[in-house]
Amino acid sequence: MDQLDGAAQTYSWEREEGRLLEALAEKVAPYVTIRPMPEIEIYDQVTQLGVVDNFTSLIATFLRHFKNGGYRIEDCETRATGAKMGKRAEAFLKIFGAVYREYQARLGDRIDFEDMVNQATALVETGKYDSPFRHILVDEFQDISTGRAKLIKALKTQHADDRIFAVGDDWQSIYRFAGSDIHIMRNFGTAFGGTYADETGVHRTVDLGRTFRSVDKIALAARRFVLCNPAQITKTVVPAGETDQPAIRIAWTRRETGAQVMDETLSAILNEPMRHDRKPTVLLLGRYRFIEPDLRDLRRRHPGLEINFKTIHASKGLEADHVIILGADNARMGFPSMIVDDPLLGLISPEAEPFANAEERRVMYVAMTRARSTVTIMASEARPSTFVTELLNNPAYDVASPREAQERTHTCQQCGGRLLYMPGQDGPGWYRCEHVKLCGNRMSACPSCGVGLPLRQAEGAEQTCSECGAVQTPCPSCADGWLVERHGKYGAFMGCVRFPDCSGKAKTKKKSRKRQSA
């Protein structure tokens, strides 16, 4: 160790010459094997430390889109004025202009990826490059960006007999943040089609609908889900197999039960019928990287499973026997994500889609279709995401959720939300509305069994416990409370169980006495 410490000394002059890291690598190479992390992983870790602030991220994203689209500062200023974006856009473009000029100066004679595409396009358009190609094949066409589309058009325009064959799936277009523009694929004929018999935009579509991965109850449900957006291109899907059991499941979680629910879910997967003589594969998917659980601990507790984690974006092209989608909660960084792009990106980003959560819906489609056999969606019971609610409310999706949770979930009579059962620590449970901050309705559980909820079938009718059948007297002032004996300064009376939110009450019933004869 002493020898290594001495060999790894660095000097200020090495930093001044810009070779500090290179010099350090040379000095430690005889003693250690250097395994540099990919730049994207380094960036992710730095971001998690909070070193990269939102403004820096905005500048970086804006720069990438700005160069990809071949924009000028003047173009952005004109668009900002037309959109009446005001002083903020004006100030941002001044700062961005300075950053852009410095970025280009530091590049010097080098080029970045956007430069590579733009310069290639210019060479083709000016005829300095004569393309020998007559057939152009483009894979992953759903991720095409404006800059790359210009290059393809330039190649096709050089020769009248050029043909373009594009392979893509608009249902999996999930990279708008990186510059991909789904409108290019949706308008393929207009952008790349040929001319025949005085008709323009002539092209042909070949439907590749067979999936060799997912069973019918996943493949067809995912198709139905993504096609809720009418702008998506309709395709027929032929699944890889059939099953008579629900293949999409909801696993409810609470703040204190996440680890327990994960263990129960993995144990249930291990009990699934084996189709191969190997460990079942489980892919945990998160909308964001920070949601990754402790894989080492999970693998230790469930050695019969091969468990891995990926973000949904990084999972494209992968597959597993079983998929568990994490964090499908109604939260800013839940799923669908509620993080909204900065309006400034509208100056250089592809046109936004009018359908709500259009790209997030496609992200969910990608997550679901990574699975061969089952998809389990882990969601907060108190605040499930809109996607989870949609899947549960439509019987056509054939989604299974824990029976106990379904039976002990009732309608809140105050706001129309859901009353969720909350087990007590050492006594009876209780119910609370899912809209904790907006409604806050709370109900005691049945006084007889401590688990069920007394419900009334009609106005004025007695309330019968959903669990044990015990009967309670309904409150005359509210729609869901019942009367319990209370004591005040004037003695005993019957008051609503929802007090102080409801002040409904009634007199106690006096016991009848039989008159005795002399």
CA distances from 434 to 85, 392, 431, 440 (A): 38, 16, 9, 8
Residue ranges of the alpha helices (H) in 182-333? 182-186, 188-192, 216-226, 258-270, 295-301
Query: Which residue type does 504 have?
Result: G
Give domain 216-402's CATH superfamily. Answer: P-loop containing nucleotide triphosphate hydrolases (3.40.50.300)
CA distances from 162 to 118, 138, 196, 245 (A): 21, 13, 14, 49
Asked if 116-202 and 216-402 have one fold, the answer is yes
Q: In what order do the strands lie in the sheet with 505-506?
A: 483-488, 491-496, 505-506
∠ CA 405-407-411 to the nearest 5 degrees? 95
Residues 6+ apart with CB under 8 A from 28: 4, 7, 8, 34
Q: Residue 516 has what pLDDT?
A: 46
What residue ranges in 409-477 does DSSP mark as E strands? 409-411, 418-422, 430-433, 442-444, 454-456, 463-465, 471-472
Euclidean distance between the first and final Cα of the chain, in Å? 110
Q: Residue 326 has what pLDDT?
A: 97
Tokens of 184: 């290019």
Give the span between the Cα atoms of 504 and 498, in whole angstroms.
Answer: 9
Mode of pairing for the β-strands spanning 320-325 and 281-286: parallel
Closest by CA to 312, choosing from 334, 332, 295, is 334
Q: Residue 364 has what pLDDT?
A: 97
Would you give per-residue pLDDT tens digits along the chain (518 residues)?
A: 444 455 568 888 888 888 888 888 888 888 888 777 776 667 667 666 666 678 888 898 899 999 988 899 999 999 999 889 999 999 999 999 999 999 999 999 999 999 999 999 999 999 999 999 999 999 999 999 999 999 999 999 999 889 999 999 999 999 988 888 999 999 999 989 988 888 989 999 998 889 989 999 999 999 999 999 999 999 999 998 988 888 999 999 987 788 999 999 999 999 887 767 789 999 999 999 999 999 999 999 999 999 999 999 999 999 999 999 999 999 989 999 998 888 999 898 877 888 999 999 999 999 999 999 999 999 998 889 999 999 998 999 999 877 655 566 788 888 887 788 777 766 788 888 877 777 888 888 998 888 889 998 877 678 999 888 899 999 989 888 899 988 888 888 999 998 888 889 888 765 444 444 44
What are the sequence ranges of the domains in the chain? 1-36, 40-110, 116-202, 216-402, 409-506
Give the span between the Cα atoms of 245 and 268, in whole angstroms.
Answer: 14
Q: Residue 59 has what pLDDT?
A: 92
Give the span between the Cα atoms of 473 and 463, in whole angstroms.
Answer: 6
The answer to whether residues 305 and 359 touch, using CB atoms and an 8 Å cutoff, is no
* DSSP 3-state of 75: helix
Q: Which residues pair with 433 in a beta bridge?
A: 419
Q: Residue 50 has what pLDDT?
A: 62
Query: Which residue type does 161 have?
Result: D
CA distances from 6 to 19, 25, 32, 122, 354 (A): 19, 14, 14, 53, 62
The answer to whether residues 117 and 147 touch, using CB atoms and an 8 Å cutoff, is yes
Q: Residue 510 has what pLDDT?
A: 57
Closest by CA to 384, choosing from 398, 404, 405, is 405
Give the span between the Cα atoms of 466 and 454, in whole angstroms.
Answer: 6
φ, ψ for residue 464, nearest 5 deg: -110, 135
What DSSP string describes 246-283? --EEEEEE-TTTHHHHHHHHHHHHHTSPP-SSSPPEEE
In Å, how far from its chain's centre is CA 412? 28
φ, ψ for residue 57, nearest 5 deg: -60, -40
465-504 per-residue burial string, b: 16 or more CB within 10 A, e: under 16: bbbeeeebebbeebebbbbeeeeeeeeeebbbbbeeebeb
Q: Residue 187 has what pLDDT?
A: 92
Neighbours of 193 (CB within 10 A): 16
Give the span between the Cα atoms of 344 and 377, in whole angstroms.
Answer: 34
Tokens of 256: 């204190």
Fold adopted by 116-202:
Rossmann fold (3.40.50)
Model confidence, pTM: 0.73
Tokens of 395: 């019987």
Q: Residue 311 has what pLDDT?
A: 95
